[in-house]
Chains A and B, each alone.
Chain A
């Protein structure tokens, strides 16, 4: 078996069996479970406690309000309350009602309400009551002005407004919305992958170096094979983790009792309009982005002598991906801003920013190709540089760990110096 694969599988299985990996995966699955079941979990808390509101008002207002609330399918149970406010207060204390509403008529015949509850931190109920009253007020006012119900409906009808992109190949509104969600999710995935798995590569390298096992390893395997065995092993690990998480998410959604996935909360996850090319680009930029950052992180990981120093050297690299992330976040709403266009060609930002542009705009193919060439070129450059630094770096044991060490490591791995 090729030694690259020996290193790859060793890294993979060693990590796969490790407790931290199993725990993070389980925690993530639990998190996914909670997210997918969030509406039903929230409902299960809400359902038993329909808000009971005592209403002190005239009968006509009460029936209007009752009508309006049932139209709005709200969760509020109103009941007429006849008595003084002190008695209502006592009713709240005894738990008979949760709050009460005093409805009166203003001089010009409009309803006016005062909502009283233990606290007014809870916003949902008063908001619903308020908007119900607003509706009642509008129809009363309309009636007074002699406007018919039909006319009122006409006034309320929302204006027709449609956005149509003229540019050939530009995304339609629907496509854009889906792309935006997709890009948004992918940004997070790339960001977390680089931070999480990239760090894992750096830590692995530093751990082998600090335990000095590195010297034995690079006497049996070339540093290039070793480095890429590690990078690919961690990549495989990441893919396994994503596969498990996505599979679990899918199963959770599939075996849910209600079919809310097709409507409502989860509807944004419907990617049926997504173009195949966007998915391919997503995978491409994800893989290339990971490779670039993992290579750099493996390189800096080989410079430190002790595992505790890893954080120090990977921080500058992390900043790059953090910056890329913020540029992309900004670009979600303004994808054609000049800064987005420019940064999409900078290899460190390309994986997220160029992907964002592809998702949101119709980017000419040559632009994509150019950014890919730059990205791949930079990755190859860092792979070559990394392999050299790696070879020298693993034999360096010192206190300091800075950019200067890259030069020192390079010298060590060179023939003449």
Chain B
């Protein structure tokens, strides 16, 4: 269990993380969400002991995290962080050694990972000669090569094409299967929905939503109606409980306060004309995020 108790980080008068409590179960993928400047990277840096928290406790399996545990932890930073002029193989060996591995073990792992990502020919290329997607693969390998217990991924999928996103996602799920505890942050809600069981949304350093993804959605209460009709929906605004109407070309989304409202909406729609499609759905994480974090998030 990774535990953060009342963790606070202040930079001068600015509070980057404010009283954060998190318990992240082992062998799970945990999502940390938040807009720019919400405190995600600061939280990760505190977990990694790159900076000390102003207040609070951080523990992994009931122990403090310190440099002699660095072989248990893997880290993929938000910004690409590799030696541009060094060959892929050489720098993975160096970074692996720093995580306490032997050269022979590292060589085997490099071979396996590069083959898995379909780029074995990159082993002897310089990082600066690789495409952004391939660099990110190397960055990912650097984070997981020593088979960490706890893996921290800061925006792992940013700037990647869909094929590479799938490739990395599969790798993340695989690691989870093998027992790795993974903590990751993302802007992309669909990645979080796909990978995480638990999540936390940070806003200005404070957790605004925290818990199991399903429970969060259920307790949110609000539902979405997917509707396909041939007439204008503006009149629905007069029905109490209808919150928002987002009209699309083929399909419109109506946000309602609770399930019950749906039936009234359906009745009204049928009065007005032919209803081609009508469905009641759980809210998306995106909806929850936007509501909790507000319009400041683009």
B80 touches A219 (CB 8 A): no
Question: Considering only CB atoms, which chain A residue lies closest to B128 in the complex?
Answer: A211
A217 at the interface (CB under 8 A from B): yes
- Contact present for B50 and A6 (CB under 8 Å): no
B291 CB to nearest A CB, Å: 33
Binds A, one of B94-102, B160-168, B195-203, B260-268: B94-102
Check if A417 sits within 8 Å of B98, measured CB to CB.
no
CB-CB under 8 A from A92, the residues of chain B are: none
A215 touching B54 by the CB < 8 A rule?
Answer: no
Task: Give the distance in Å from the alpha carbon of A219 to the alpha carbon of B12 in the complex.
Answer: 24
Determine if A413 and B51 form an interchain contact, defined as CB atoms under 8 angstroms apart. Answer: yes
Q: A412-B11, A417-B54 are in contact. Are A220 and B99 (CB under 8 A)?
A: yes
Are the C-beta atoms of A220 and B95 separated by less than 8 Å?
Answer: yes
Contact of A212 among B50, B77, B97 (CB under 8 A): B77
Q: Does A151 contact B (CB under 8 A)?
A: no
A217-B50 in contact (CB<8A): no
Q: Which of A212, A215, A220, A411 contacts B98 (CB 8 A)?
A: A220
Contact of B52 among A217, A218, A222, A414 (CB under 8 A): A414
Query: Residue of B at shortest CB range from A414?
Result: B52
Bound-complex Cα distance A412 to B98 (A): 24
B297 → chain A closest CB, angstroms: 23
* CA of A6 to CA of B97, assembled, Å: 7
Report which of A14, A211, A222, A417 forms a contact with B11, defined as CB distance below 8 A.
Answer: A417
A133 to chain B, nearest CB (A): 67
Contact with A along B140-159 (1 / 0, CB 8 A): 00100000000000000000
Which of B11, B12, B77 is in CB contact (< 8 Å) with A216?
B77
Q: Provide the residues of chain A in CB contact with B73, threshold 8 Å.
A: 219
- Which residues of chain A have C-beta atoms less than 8 A from B54's C-beta? 415-417
By a CB distance below 8 angstroms, the chain B residues around A412 are: 11, 51
- Complex interface: stretch among B82-90, B112-120, B231-239: B82-90
Contact present for B81 and A215 (CB under 8 Å) = yes
Q: B178 on the interface (CB 8 Å rule)?
A: no
Query: Residues 356-397 of chain A: 1 if any B CB is under 8 Å from the residue's CB, otherwise 0?
Result: 000000000000000000000000000000000001100100
From residue A11, how far is it (CB to closest CB) to chain B in Å?
A: 10
Contact B98 A3 (CB under 8 A): yes
A252, chain B: closest CB distance, angstroms: 34
- A7 contacts across to B, CB distance below 8 A: 98
B45 contacts A217, C-beta separation under 8 Å = no
Query: Could you mark each residue 194-231 of chain A with 1 if its beta carbon is under 8 Å from any beta carbon of chain B, else 0?
Result: 00000000000000100111111111111000000000
Distance, CA A211 to CA B85, complexed state (A): 10
Interface centre among A3, A216, A412, by most chain B C-beta atoms within 10 angstroms, is A216
A207 → B minimal CB distance (Å): 8
B52 near A212 (CB under 8 angstroms)? Answer: no
Q: Which of A271-311 contact B (CB under 8 A)?
A: none
In the complex, what residues of B have CB within 8 A of residue A222's CB? 67
The reply on B184 being an interface residue by CB < 8 A is: no
Flag B263-293 by CB within 8 Å of A: 1 or 0 each: 0000000000000000000000000000000
Decide if A215 touches B67 in the complex (CB within 8 Å): no
Using Cβ atoms and an 8 Å threshold, which residues of chain B touch A221?
67, 70, 98
Closest to A415 in B: B52
Provide the bound-state CA to CA distance between A212 and B79, in Å.
Answer: 7
Contacting residues, chain B, for A395 (C-beta < 8 A): 45, 50-51
**Least Cβ–Cβ distance between A89 and chain B, in angstroms:** 66
B12 to chain A, nearest CB (A): 6
Using a CB-CB cutoff of 8 Å, which residues 36-58 of chain B contact chain A? 45, 48-54
Tell me the bound Cα distance from A219 to B49 in angstroms.
7
Instruction: List A residues 14-45 near B (Cβ within 8 Å).
Output: 14
Q: What secondary structure prevails in chain A residues at the interface with B?
A: helix
**B80: which A residues are within 8 A, CB to CB?**
212
In the complex, B244 has a CB within 8 A of chain A = no
Give chain A residues whose Cβ lies under 8 Å from the Cβ of B50: 215, 218-219, 391, 395
Residues of B contacting A14 with CB < 8 Å? 86
The answer to whether A211 and B98 have CB atoms under 8 Å apart is no
Closest residue of chain A to B97, judged by CB?
A6
Chain A residue nearest to B154 (CB atoms) is: A215
Chain B residue nearest to A394 (CB atoms) is: B50
Give the CA-CA distance A14 to B84 in the complex, in Å: 13
Q: Which of A216, A392, A415 contacts B95 (CB 8 A)?
A: A216
User: Do residues A213 and B98 form an inter-chain contact, with CB atoms below 8 A?
Assistant: no
Residue among A208, A218, A220, A391 with most chain B CB within 10 A: A220
Q: Give min CB distance, B234 to chain A, whole Å.
A: 49
Please name the residue on chain B nearest to A226 by beta carbon: B98
A216 contacts B142, C-beta separation under 8 Å = yes
- Counting CB contacts under 8 A, is B75 at the interface? yes
Give A217 to B79 CA distance when docked, in angstroms: 14
**Chain A: which residue is nearest B127 at the CB level?**
A211
A213: contacting residue among B48, B49, B82, CB under 8 A = B82
- Give the residue name and chain of the A residue nearest to B79 (CB): A212
| B188 interface residue per 8 A CB criterion | no
Contact of A6 among B11, B79, B84, B98 (CB under 8 A): B98
| B67–A213 touching, CB < 8 Å | no
Task: Indicate whether A216 sits within 8 Å of B94 (C-beta atoms), given known contacts A221-B70, A417-B12.
Answer: no
Q: Closest approach, in angstroms, between the C-beta of B77 and any C-beta of chain A?
A: 5
Q: Distance (Å) between the CB of A410 and the closest chain B CB?
A: 12
Q: Does B10 contact A (CB under 8 A)?
A: yes
A212 to B98 Cα, complex, angstroms? 16
A26 and B157 alpha carbons, distance in the complex (Å): 46
User: Contact: B81 with A211, CB < 8 Å?
Assistant: yes
Tell yes or no: A131 within 8 A of B by CB.
no
A148 contacts partner chain B, Cβ-Cβ < 8 Å: no
Are B48 and A211 in touch, CB under 8 angstroms? no
Tell which of B12, B84, B91, B99 touches A411, judged by Cβ atoms closer than 8 Å.
Answer: B12
Which A residues are in CB contact (< 8 Å) with B70?
A: 219-221
- Check A212–B12 contact: CB distance below 8 A: no
B49: chain A residues within 8 A (beta carbon): 219
Closest CB pairs A-B (n = 8): A212-B81, A220-B98, A415-B52, A220-B70, A219-B48, A213-B81, A215-B77, A222-B67
Instruction: Apart from A212-B77, A215-B77, A412-B11, list 5 A-B contacts with CB within 8 A.
Output: A6-B97, A216-B81, A217-B95, A219-B49, A219-B50
Q: Which residues of B contact A (CB under 8 A)?
A: 10-12, 45, 48-54, 67, 70, 73, 75, 77, 79-84, 86, 91, 94-95, 97-99, 142
Sampled A-B contacts (17; CB under 8 Å): A10-B97, A212-B80, A213-B81, A213-B82, A213-B83, A215-B75, A215-B81, A216-B77, A217-B95, A219-B50, A219-B70, A221-B70, A221-B98, A392-B51, A412-B11, A415-B52, A417-B11
